């Protein structure tokens, strides 16, 4: 976010994006796999010039489909940070950047010579974001982990799934995304705002475990009140009540009944032609609650999901079909919101989750191949052809 027009670098492709709120913001992305790349994807989709920096070896080893989705609208370069020349190249890039995002274990960037102090010595306005499993402090700061580990350690996994079954696993990694990606975006944008106001960047320390635990507000109510969290299946959001559960249909599909409020429950009972159940919604500890659930289950098993979906589409009582992802993307609501978009290469990708007035989202470019834009980026930011060739001779760039 350059205030001095003399120092402003040549406009990058992102700067010209019509109405893009982050146009002119340059982000150095050293992350891999999912939480970090998803964070910088959100920034790129909002117009930031995100430069994906990979090493000269394996680089970002995410599977190809994920790589294409989370790295669209970015440019790609390759640096070897084990070479002194590679380190100096990154520090020089920091001078012309607004944000650096990394996801190495604590201490790795310092050992490479590109930690917070070194980077901000080159550019005091730089926002430096570190995304790790357990954060920069604490006894587990250097521990490895995956999505299920963070969910397990924070008590969140114990709240996911069905009673008398193991905690649920999901191909939507909730800890990585809710705990890592979104807090990183939030912290970066807050620090960018402050850097524009105060002239100094900050270190944004994001722990995926922290981010997930911070959102466990509903079960935390019980703990904060001195009680234990109710076991799965015995609380109102985990299947104890007839008005909030998944029910099987005649064709082996499912309906999601979320009629928590009395007005929705009464309407639901009217639609399934069981008005006698409207006043029979017991509380969590009432002995009759299981009998009410059994009655509802028996009714919904009489017809197919398509039958119930069509019926409830006309009713306002929080009942929806449990769709497959392909069905969800084809749903009129998701189509109207642009949640399925075509990339330039022709593949279908998920749309962005934020709509901002004056900014029309577009996939400006496909995910870059490793090092695709090394020459373009370095030349744009001031490296001569001779300097780039010297860096290649010592294998510092690729």
41 and 14 Cβ atoms separated by less than 8 Å? no
- 319 strand-pairing partners: 257
176 is known as an active-site residue: yes
**Alpha helix segments (H runs only) across the chain:** 35-45, 64-70, 84-95, 108-112, 116-122, 147-153, 174, 182-198, 208-213, 217-224, 262-271, 289-300, 305-312, 325-330, 332-336, 374-380, 385-393
List 55, 146, 246, 375, catalytic entry: 146
Question: For the chain, how many helices (H) and strands (E)?
Answer: 17, 11
Tokens of 25: 């913001």
Rg (the chain; Cα; Å): 25
Give the contacts of 382 (CB within 8 A, at least 6 positions apart).
Answer: 9, 96
Q: Is 230 helix (H, G, I), strand (E, B) or coil?
A: coil
Q: Which residue among 45, 49, 176, 366 is the active-site one?
A: 176
Complete DSSP assignment for 356-391:
BTTB-----SPPPPTTTTHHHHHHHTT--HHHHHHH
What Å distances lie between residue 98 and 29, 187, 188, CA to CA?
11, 14, 10
Active site includes 164?
A: no
317: tokens are: 């009582």
Residues 274, 279, 283, CA angle at the centre, nearest 5°?
120
Contact indicator for 45, 361 with CB cutoff of 8 Å = yes
Are 246 and 254 in contact by the 8 Å Cβ rule? The answer is: yes
Q: How many CB atoms lie within 10 A of CB 29?
A: 29
DSSP bridge partners of 63: none
Looking at the annotation, which residues are catalytic? 146, 176
């Amino acid at each position: 976010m350059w205030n001095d027009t003399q120092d402003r670098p040549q406009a990058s492709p992102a700067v010209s994006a019509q109405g893009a709120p982050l146009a002119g913001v340059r982000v150095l992305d050293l992350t891999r796999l999912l939480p970090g790349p998803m964070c910088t994807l959100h920034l790129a989709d909002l117009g930031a010039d995100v430069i994906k920096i990979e090493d000269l070896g394996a680089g970002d080893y995410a599977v190809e489909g994920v790589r294409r989705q989370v790295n669209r609208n970015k440019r790609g370069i390759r640096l070897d940070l084990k070479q002194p020349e590679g380190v100096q190249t990154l520090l020089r890039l920091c001078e012309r950047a607004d944000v650096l995002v990394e996801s190495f274990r604590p201490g790795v960037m310092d050992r490479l010579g590109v930690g917070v102090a070194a980077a901000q010595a080159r550019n005091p306005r730089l926002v430096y974001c570190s995304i790790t499993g357990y954060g920069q402090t604490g006894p587990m700061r250097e521990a490895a982990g995956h999505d299920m580990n963070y969910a397990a350690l924070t008590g969140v996994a114990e709240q996911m799934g069905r009673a008398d079954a193991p905690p649920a696993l999901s191909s939507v990694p909730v800890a990585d995304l809710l705990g890592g990606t979104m807090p990183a975006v939030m912290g970066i944008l807050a620090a960018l705002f402050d850097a524009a106001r105060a002239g100094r960047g900050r270190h944004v320390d994001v722990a995926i475990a922290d981010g997930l635990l911070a959102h466990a507000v509903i079960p935390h109510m019980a703990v904060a009140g001195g009680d234990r969290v109710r076991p799965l299946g015995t609380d109102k959001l985990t299947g104890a009540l007839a008005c909030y559960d998944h029910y099987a249909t005649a064709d082996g599909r499912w309906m999601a009944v979320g009629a928590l409020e009395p007005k929705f429950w009464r309407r639901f009972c009217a639609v399934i032609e069981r008005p006698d159940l409207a006043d029979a919604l017991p509380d969590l500890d009432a002995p009759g609650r299981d009998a009410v659930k059994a009655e509802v289950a028996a009714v919904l098993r009489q017809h197919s999901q398509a039958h119930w979906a069509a019926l409830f589409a006309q009713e306002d009582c929080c009942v929806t079909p449990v769709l497959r992802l392909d069905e969800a993307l084809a749903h009129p609501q998701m189509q109207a919101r642009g949640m399925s978009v075509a990339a330039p290469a022709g593949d279908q990708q998920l749309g962005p989750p934020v709509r901002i007035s004056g900014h029309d989202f577009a996939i400006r470019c496909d995910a870059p191949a490793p090092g695709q834009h090394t020459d373009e980026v370095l030349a744009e930011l001031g490296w001569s052809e001779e300097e780039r060739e010297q860096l290649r001779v010592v294998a510092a760039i690729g």
